[in-house]
Every structure is written in C-alpha cells, then in structure tokens.
C-alpha cells in the first residue's frame, strides 16, 4: 500500500499536523527581504522599531516560502506533490520574528473530481502556519491538483 494520498483517499475535514518545524533567523529574514521585499521593517532592526511592527519582521512572502518548505517536507503526503491551482485567501495575522519556530496544520475543506480531466481532482486546503506559541502567523487557503487512482 502506498503512503501517498490520492483524491479518493481524501475527505473534507481531514486534518494533517506537521511533526517538524523550521527556525527563523535574522540573517534569513534580511537575505530574503534584500532580494524580494526590500522594505526597512524586513531589513534593518533599528529602522523596524519605528514602524507598526515595532521590530524586525519577516516578509509575508518569506513566511509563505517557509510554509511551502514545511508542506513539502511535512505536509499531507499527496500523490504527485503539492501542485497549486490557485489560492482563495492568504492572511498574515501576526508578524514572524527572528527566533520564531514555525510549524503547519492543514485541513481539507473540499474534495472533488475535475470536470475537465478524469485523471485528477481539486482539493481546497487551509494551511495554518503557527509559531512556537501556537499563534497563527499565516492562514492560507489554496486549491491543489491531486491525481486520482488509476
């Protein structure tokens, strides 16, 4: 029996809790920001103190990238991988800080066969990224393409 999950193995309400976590360090926050989101509150600790964040904060897009890494390593073991077909929503309810440890929890919201391709289906999944205190730092609802069993 395969440990990979196909569309037929999934049901709405099914939950997956990641067992691993990833650390967030200041150098990674600054490196990501320098390349992709060069704003003072992501780049400079002192400048960030004067912003609404009150200190250095990771870019939301960096948080999304770390979440993707966690999904691939520790998320639902979907056959074919984590293949996105779009997103319905992404929220960043609180900033990610240097020293945080992130982990994920995912819940299947909808599962349906594709109307155009009988070999696959679509799954709507909400993934919540939590810090070490169990506080949500990102809530992402995405649509994934999942193969059907042959």
Quick: pLDDT tens for 55-74: 999 999 999 999 999 999 99
Under 8 Å between Cβ of 90 and 140: yes
Q: Is the dihedral of CA 38, 59, 31, 67 positive or negative?
A: negative
What's residue 1's pLDDT?
Answer: 44
Domain extents in the chain: 7-147
pLDDT of 47 above 80 = yes
Alpha-carbon distance values, 68 to 51, 65, 104 (Å): 28, 5, 10
Burial (CB count within 10 angstroms: exposed 0-12, middle 13-18, buried 19+), residue 114: middle
pTM of the predicted model over 0.85: yes
Q: Give 7-147's CATH code, choosing from 2.40.50.100, 3.40.50.720, 1.10.10.350, 3.10.129.10.
A: 3.10.129.10
């Amino acid at each position: 029996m395969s440990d990979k999950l196909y569309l037929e193995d999934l049901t709405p309400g099914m939950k997956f809790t990641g067992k691993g976590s990833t650390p967030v360090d200041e150098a990674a926050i600054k490196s990501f920001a320098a390349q992709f989101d060069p704003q003072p509150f992501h780049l400079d600790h002192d400048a960030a103190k004067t912003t609404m964040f009150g200190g250095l904060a990771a870019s939301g897009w960096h948080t999304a990238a770390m979440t993707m890494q966690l999904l691939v390593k520790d998320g639902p073991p979907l056959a074919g991988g984590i293949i996105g077909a779009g997103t319905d929503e992404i929220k960043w309810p609180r900033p990610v800080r240097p020293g945080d440890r992130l982990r994920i929890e995912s819940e299947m919201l909808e599962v349906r066969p594709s109307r155009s391709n009988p070999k696959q289906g679509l799954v709507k999944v909400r993934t919540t990224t939590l810090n070490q205190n169990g506080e949500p730092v990102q809530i992402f609802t995405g649509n994934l393409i999942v193969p059907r069993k042959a």
